Structure 1
Amino acid sequence: MKLSIFLTVFVTLFIKAVMPIDCFWSTDCKYKYFSSKTSYENVRGDIRDSIVKPEGCELISGWTIMRHGKKNPGSKFLRNINSVLNFKDHIVSSYDNGNSSLCAQDVDNLREWKIDTSFINNPNKITNEGYQEMFTFGSRIKEALPEIFNNLREEEYSIQPTFGPRSEVSAEALIKGLGYKDLITEKATSNSSLASPYGACKPYNNEVHDNPDSYKMSLQYMETPEYVNMKEKLEKRLGLNFTLTNKNIIAIYDLCRYTSYGLTNEFSPWCAVFTQEDLKMIEYVGDLEHYYRSGYGASKFSTTFGRTVLADLFNKFEQAKNNQGKKTTVHITHSTMMDMVLVALNVFKDTNPLTAGHRDLNRKWRSTFLSTFGVNLIAILNRCGKSDEKLDEYKVSFYWNERPFLELCNGGVCSWQEFESIFKPFLNATTTDICEHNQYH
C-alpha cells in the first residue's frame, strides 16, 4: 500500500517535471489580434497581389477611405497605463519569491523592459510604426495602380485628412509612399469634416459617444463568469498579493498591444502575462465597445454618417464617367468612421446583436479586422470598352484591407448598375434630422 502511494506521488512529480511549459517567448504562433489597436501589418492583404483588372478595361478613377496609422494612446488611457507601470516590479518580485507560474524567460524579458518616454509624453502622436504603415501602403497602391497614381497634377487628386495631427501626419507619410514630395492636402478646419461628420454632432456625442450606456454591455461582459474566471486565473498566474481591477487588466492589455510591433513581428513582454484565451476575451470587450458606440448598436447615427461619406464615392465616380473630377480621392479618418461605413453598407452584420451574455466565436463583427490602425476601403472605377448599344460599360472593384471585398457584389466587383443601386440612394443622406446644425463650427 505504501509502495503504491509512493509510486503515485513519484509518477505525479515526474510528469509535472517533464511536462512542457507553455511559454510566451517560445510560442511560434502568438496571438496578434488586439481589437482596434492591432497593427495593420497583422491583418492586411497586398493590393499588388489581389488587384482585379477586368479584361478589356482601363482604370480611370480611385477612391479610398482609411484610418490613420498606429498612434500612442490618448491621455485617458495613458493615465491608466501609468498607474500599472509599477506592476512590473510586483510581477518580477512575485516570480523571484516562487509565487508566479510565468516562465523564467518571459519574466526576464519583462524585467529588462523599459518604457519609451515618447510613448508617455506624446498622447495620440503617430508612432514610427504608424508612419511606416502609411508609407508602405502608399508604396503598394502606387505599384498596383500606376494608372491613377502616376504623374498626378493638382486638379487630378484630393487627399483629405480629418482634423488633427494624427491624420495629417498619416497623409504626409502616404504622400511620401506614393513617391511625391509636394502633393497638397486639403486640411480640415474643424472636427466636422466630410469623413468625420459625427465630430461636432451634439446629439451623437450626448446620446452615444459620451453616454455611459454605450459602454454598459462591455462592462457587463467583464462581470460574466467567463471573464471573472479569466481574471482569477490571471491573478493566480501572476501570484500578486493584491486584486486586479478591470481597469488594471485593460491597462496591462494596452501595454501589451501598444508596445507590440507588427512590422517587425515583435511582441511586448507584457503580452506574456496573458494566455491566448485571455486575449480573445479582452478583444471581445473592444468588439462590444465599437459595436455600441459606432457600429450596429448605434445604427441611428452610424447609418447616416456612413452614407454621407459614401455619397462622395458615388459623386466622384459619376464625375469620372463624364471625364471630369479626380483620378484619385483619399480620405484619412478614424476608426469610428470606418465602423460607420460598414454599417451603411450593411456588411459584417451578425444575425443577433452582440451581447455580454454570449461571446460568439464565429461573429462577423470583429474590431480587429474592421477598425484597426490603417484599415481601408478602396474602390476602383474601370471603363470597359463599348457595348452593343455603343455605351461605355463600367465596373467598380472594391478592396477591404487590400483584399477583394467579397461582401459586395460578385466577389467585390460590381457592374455600374449594381454600384448605382447600392450607392446612389446615399445621395439622400443628411444629418439634418439627427444633428443640430448650429452645433457644427
Structure 2
Amino acid sequence: MRIAGVSLEDSFLRISITDKKIGIIKPVKSEDIKLPVSEQERSLAIRETFRKLKEEYKAGNVVIGLNLSNFSHNFIDLPSLSKADMRNAILFELEKYLPLPPEEYIYDFSVIEKMQNKMRTLVLSIRKDRVNELLTVVRDSGLGLAGIRCSFIEALNEFIASDNIKDAVFIYAAEASYYLAALKGQRPVLFKTVPKGKSAAAELEGLAASAGGDIYISGHPDPEVLNKLNAKTLALSPANAIALSALKKSKVEMNFMPAGLLPEKKDYYPYAIAAMTALAVVIFFFTEIYSYYKDYAALHAVEKKIEQIKSAASGPLETRKKMETIYEKRKLLHEFQGKRNLNIKALTELSRFLPKDTWLVSMSVDEKGKVDIEGFAKRASGIIEPLSKSKFFKKVEFVSPIISQDGQERFSIRMEIAG
C-alpha cells in the first residue's frame, strides 16, 4: 500500500510518500513545493500536485495535514462516560467554545487523563466547509482520502514516540507562527500559537518557563529564538508524520474525516449498529404486540370460561367460588397490563424535568410506584423543584445528604408515581 502525506502550509506543500508491504514501512520520496501567492494559481498548483501523486508517484491514498491555526482546540473535563456518550456530551459542550453552531464543524477528541470519576479530554474542531474543499480536490485527483489531520498534533506524536520523555516543551516553527505544546508525563496540558515577530522569543521563553521541563524545537525557528530558549533542535518532518498516521496508532489519535468517506478503510461499525438498532426496534414492537394479544387472548379465555361456569354450575355456592377465583385472575392480568413499561414512563418523565447538567447513575421503580434515583449535578438542590412540578411524581425528597465530589454534587432522591 502506497500512501502520501501532504502538509498544507502557508506557502508550501510538503509531501512524503511511504510504502507499507508485509508490515514493513518504507519511505519512498519527499518533496517541498512552493505555492503561488495568487489564490487561483495556488488552487491550481494544489490540484496539479494531487494529480501528480496519483499518476506519477502511484499513490493510492492521501492523508492531508493542516496547521493548528485551522482548528479550534479546547481541554474539556467530563464525567467518566462511554466513548459514544462522550461524543454526544462534547457536542453540547462545544456550544460554549465555538463561534458557530457545533453542526458547522467536524471534531475529534482524545482522552488525555483519567481521574477519579472524571476524564480530561482534548477536543479539536475544524469548519466543515474547509474539509469539503479538500474532499473536492482529492476526489478530482482520483486518490482515496485516508484522513484529514492536524500537522502539529502528528509532529507531536512523533516527538512523543521518539524518546521516553516525561515533562517537556515541544515547539514547531512553521512559516508564520510557532506552535507550542507543554507535556506532563507525555500528556499534553497546554497548546499555544505564537506569531513570529520581535516579541516571539520572549513570549515563548515565558511559556516554556511556566510549563517546566526541557525545551525541544523543530521546523524553521529564527536564530533569536534558538539563542533565547537554549532549546534542543529536532529534525521532524510533519509530512512524514502525517503519512505514518494512517499506518500506525498514535498517542493523541485524531482524524477529521467525516464518517463513511474513508475509501479503503471502510468502517462497517455504524452500519452494524444501525442494523442492530432497527432489529431491536422490530423486536420491541413485536414483543409489545405479542404481549398485548397474548394478554387479550388470556382475558378472552377467562371471560369465556366465566360464561361456561355460569351455564354449567350445579349450585350457586360452587359457581360463586369459581367466579371469584376467575375474577381475581382477571384483575391480576389487568393490573399487569397497567404496570407495563412503568420504568420507561418514569425515565421519560425524568428526562423532561431534570436539569441538563444532571447525570443519573441509577434508577429503580418498585411495585408500589416508589422511584429512587442517584446521580451527579452541579447544584443538587435545584433538582427537587422541577421534579415537583411534574404531574407524574409526588412526594419528591432527598433520602441522604448531598455529597460534593470533584466539582459535582452527588444526590439520592425518592419520589412516588402519582395516581
Asked if Structure 1 and Structure 2 have the same fold, meaning a TM-score greater than 0.5 normalized by the shorter chain, the answer is no
Between structure 1 and structure 2, the one with the greater Rg is 2
Q: Aligning the two structures, in what range does the TM-score lie when normalised by the shorter sequence?
A: under 0.3
- Tell me the TM-score normalized by structure 1: 0.19
Structure with the bigger percentage of helix? 1
Greater RCO (Cα-Cα under 8 Å, separation 6 or more): 1
